[in-house]
Chains A and B, each alone.
Chain A
Amino acid sequence: ENVLTQSPAFMSASLGEKVTMSCRASSSVNYMSWYQQKSDASPKLWIYYTSNLAPGVPTRFSGSGSGNSYSLTISSMEGEDAATYYCQQFTSSPWTFGGGTKLEIK
């Protein structure tokens, strides 16, 4: 199966700071999806097809990457962005998720 490794596992950022998190796949994928999950809530699709924002996602978020390496970037950290972010691949079954990056406010 295609193993997705997210880094860092945990990070903290100050309000207004630029944030970048990474997702590396053990085998090349065609595109990557990202989910946001807050405590005691279900995951939400955040970014699909690598760089497309889901409806309602603020434009300070962006996604990029290709092949084995993908990233999610927040241009300017806001309080509501504190959450855990997961990447997921749909290129090859089984669909797999990364272990998550937990983002907190510094």
Chain B
Amino acid sequence: EVKLEESGGGLVQPGGSMKLSCVASGFTFNKYGMNWVRQSPEKGLEWVAEIRLKSNNYAIHSAESVKGRFTISRDDSKSSVYLQMNNLRAEDTGIYYCTPTATGGFGYWGRGTLVTVSA
């Protein structure tokens, strides 16, 4: 059974930093690109960033709205993906999900972790 467990969310002030983690199980982690997707009532579902495989030199691409502020990384030995978020803004508030890049879509989702950016 595939499991994705996100953690690290919480309340942070504008301009602050936070690091999200996601531990995966039930599939061969190092064979899948990994993504962070967020959801808020205001902006709906929004893809944030992807990190590809070692064979792709762990290539990264990310949404314009987070470039220069968010950094995705992975540790294949721990089946984990991370999202370092700096200079957080109110509009970054939302539920953050990690999900593997699968055939034709994001086939598996965790329960997500809630990030609230507020003074």
Contact = CB atoms under 8 A, between A and B. Distances in A.
Contact of B45 (A48, A86, A93): A86
Contacts, number: 59
Interface residues of B, number: 23
B104 A33 contact: yes
A61 interface: no
Contacts of B106: 33, 35, 43, 45, 88
A31 B104 contact: yes
Interface stretch (A16-24, A70-78, A95-103): A95-103
B47 interface: yes
A1 B47 CA distance: 12
A65 B88 CA distance: 39
Number of chain A interface residues as a range? 20 to 34
Given A88-B105, A90-B104, A99 B44 contact: yes
Interface in B66-119: 97, 102-112
A96 B109 contact: no
A52 interface: yes
Contacts of B47: 94-97
B11 interface: no
Contact of A97 (B45, B64, B108, B110): B45
Interface of A: 1, 31, 33, 35, 42-45, 48-49, 52, 54, 86, 88, 90, 93-100
22 contacts: A31-B104, A33-B104, A42-B109, A43-B97, A43-B106, A43-B109, A45-B105, A45-B106, A45-B107, A48-B104, A48-B107, A49-B103, A54-B107, A86-B45, A90-B104, A95-B35, A97-B44, A97-B47, A98-B44, A99-B44, A100-B44, A100-B45
